[in-house]
Chain A
Amino acid sequence: MPTNNSSNGSEREKPDGLAISRRAFLGVSAGAATAFAASRVMKRPEFSLVSPPDVNAEGIVTEEWVATSCLNCPTRCATRVRVVNGKAVQITGNPLSKFSEGETCPRSYVGLQVLYNPDRVTSPLKRTNPMKGKGVDPGWAPMSWEQALREVGGRLKSLRAKEQPHKLLLLYGLNSTSDEDLIQRFASAYGTPNVVSGEGLENEAAKAGEWMADGHYTDSAHDLERTNYILAFGASIVESQRPLARNLRMWGKIRRERPNRARVVVVDPRYSVTAAKADQWIPINPGTDGALAMAIANVIISEGLYDVDFIESWTSGFEEYRDLVLGSYAPEKVAEITGVDADVIREVARGFAHFKPAIAWRGRGAGCWPNGSYASYAIFCLNALVGSIDAPGGITYQETPKYRDMPQVVEDGISGEGKTKPRLGFDKNAGLLAEGVVTNQVADAILEGSPYPVEVAVGFGSNFNMSAPDTTRWDEAMAKVPFYVHISPGLTEMAEFADIVLPASTFLEGWAYEQCPPGSGFAEVKIKRPVVKPLHDSKPVAEIIFALATLLGGDVAESFAGIGNNAEGFVRYRTETIMPWSELCKEGVWVGPDYEYHKYDQIFSTPSKKFEFVSGNLEAAFKQSGSGRSDKLALLPHYEEPKFLGDDGTYPLMLVTYHPLLDIMNGNQNYPWAQEIYLVMQGQGWTSLAEINRKTARSLAIRDGDMIWVESPFSKVKARARVFEGIRPGVVAIAVGQGHWACGRWAKGMGVNPNEIIGVDYDRLSGQSSFFNTRVKAYRA
């Protein structure tokens, strides 16, 4: 790859002055030394105000600002990129975006290093070493696109010819909304029910919690701008909780840009960045957030602080809930479970009810547990208690843009039949509610070949070999897949198992549309357009899908006809009904109408058409599956003691993991800007640390900076110990995002990946992976 500007004809000589030797200058400055003290303040010489800057002299031949959007995390912020002489040199927020009020976060700024990453794949690659495994050299041999597509297309074609399209498995990580739409369409047209996204790893319990109460299987949108009180359960809202850039912007707003400063209380065993910036940090026993939420409800109800109007008009099941809360969750009792003083519980409950409008925010720390759905249901119900449902400063219901509908896929017998086959990863207990994303069970399905073996797998930027608990299972599973095609800009861990790697362009080189994750309430569409021409020999994901569909021919190709014919055409086809194409290209965003609150007669999709403290949706799901519980308690928010993996005698410590802000969520971490300031609280970069409380460290004879083993019943990792006051005794915290063994020069071998030692467990209801219930021990290495 070119390393200077010569490729676009803008090569310049060094500025003349630098040719003068340093010695010559020394003479000058020594002579002036006597006058030095007097002239410390130098007068700025006059210069001509009329002469325009000579842009060519500065090396600028062409310059433009391109409106596009980011894809370094699921927030997908609208950005503008400054392109000089055909090279992207600066990224900022797009001021026209209302979602984050024109701001964006540092993850966006790292985009330049995502684009110009020297370890990108430069051409399609073919595996020459038939052995697959962690650390096994695949023996990559470059091949042409034509050859690569023909080979992949051939495999897909023959699988379909055998009438076994369901044996194709599509995996995807972070992709643009339009690429996700195309991946889903491809699966449907081809005839496989097996489309698995990374979403299922971390976000399902939070979604299930809301679904039980109001029927919306989604993350919640929070009306941050107008809120007065945020109670965050395991949600590091200014560190990793999406929508991050919006959270950051609103943080500034609610703290100091209006007369009343919002109060923030963070419940988390770890002193997160959010806890550091909050008004109060409540270190809680890991996994007991649900109990704390129930105790807060106890105080609010017993002291009569709840919103009687809302409860009476728009909720059902309140009596059962009240009886449960008052009967079983007295603050003193819950104090023993959570390790949070009863007085603190009362104070927080009163604050929450008093400083309305208030938000109870359920995050990863509360949900990634076997009891995660119930905990998140319990937390979500607090919002209803204080009337924060569809109200200013409370929970809102995210509106989505109305894209132009695509025609139905053309279904032949093969694809129709394929889609009726059982989905991979669903023959286990977990995932009663999930709509098809028990991601981590897919590895088991591949390994066991059950209910049927996978013949071909295609991964779109996925990297479950890093992000899923017990990574070795994924290593074994991917090694077992007979033919795996990986599509991403870089050679990530998952790519190491591929038979063919197709170099995808980054998000700065292709067309796409994006919609924001729940957050703003109102809808917003962002566009992605090529800021520069695709580098190397890469192709945008959308182009690859269109090419494969064409190669497959027949009904698959027909399903992809008439929706724009290529990536740009597709984006235009889908968005043209929302905003004229030329305007959308120029402005980069479309903002929907203002949000309207209090739509109580429309928003609750529950049997009672009200907010439910006793979940009718859950009752129906239990009935339908036939395997669920039938007792009343199972339908109410409640606390269940989390089951741990590992006994507390041998493994006395609990392991919590977290996403630092500079964990770039595209499956890669090969970006020096992000790496060198990775852990802001610890002042360290290029690594992850085993953070441990001083008392715990002393009892284990561990000193700050020691190399230690953190060992679970399943595996162990060697990390540098960080003795830190900001963590609950008995807990070890390790940041995720490091510990790569592939990806490139700036990621490989830095820090450790805690997912290697985490056991496999699930939230029973949602099927989300349980990241936090693995016990560990720590000792000096």
Chain B
Amino acid sequence: MNPGAQVPERNAVAEPVAERERASATPVARETHGLRPPTAPAPRTDGPAARSDALERETRRAGALPMDKERTSPTLRSRQAWFANAVMSLSNELEPTAEEVESILTAGPSLSARDRLGVYRRAYVARLVECLADDYPSLQTTLGEDRFEILCRAYVAHHPSTSPSLNAYGRLMGEFCRDRMGPDLASELSGAGISAGFLADLAALEWAIVEVIHARSVDPLTPSGLADVPVERWADARLEMTPAFRLLRFAYPVNTYLQALREGKALRVPGAAPAAAAVVRSGTTVWRMDLSEPMCDLLQALASGETLGVSLERAALAFGDVAEDVAVKRVMAWFREWVSSGVFSRVMFD
């Protein structure tokens, strides 16, 4: 990030994203011919979901669905624990044997019991991969479908859902890319010139877009609302950020990269270079904007509750030897853009 660099006056870009759809339909998995779920990388053994621990314990406690002494059939609880574990165990090594499946499930007119179970095993992964693809379309484009699916399957193995909602399911993808991708995948991607740090930054940017979509909608501060503030009170004013605002600092220029992807420009994955961006939603429109370092510092100061006076003083320091009237013009241009993008919700005084 170049201190004091001038970012074009209007650099906010509307983000053409739609909300994820959650449906009662069964997803048609990519593999439509074979009935076996594709082999997944073995889940890590140090993760919270190494083998759906709670389910594993219950299944083990129940054995292979033993009968209760007073019962002639397995309990509902033990059937569900077994079934869920069979569906959520991603690797083929953990798939129940045909014999085990046949002792619990029936065969159909055309499919064996194990193949019928396979429909659920495939749908489980396909639905969650689909969900992550909705949240991370640029990550998918960058990696390509196959590598993205490998990444997602590893994520699913490590982070089984514990919520009735999928809205926040993908929230840990940035952290996962940075720290938990596993050496095999990281090494393959590195060979393709894609670093874990770059993917983590790109994921963080895409997740910010999801977050602002779901953040509370409030009426934004309007240009006239800002103009109503008497000049003598400007220094003491504090600006409240809209709940649908996220400020991000990156080690890679991922916002510029994402914009190039959106515009269909073939682009190599960029090398490391500090960058910052803001994502904000105003009404139904999500805006992304590149930020220079002074812009980022100023927004950060305002977001942390500093007065306009203190925040602007700090920003002025970053301009160095830029003439005061030029600096004032730039800052006014920034504010025009931020206000028109709905960054602030109101002006407050102590």
A and B bind: no
Contact residues of A with B, CB < 8 Å? none
Residues of B at the A interface (CB closer than 8 Å) are none
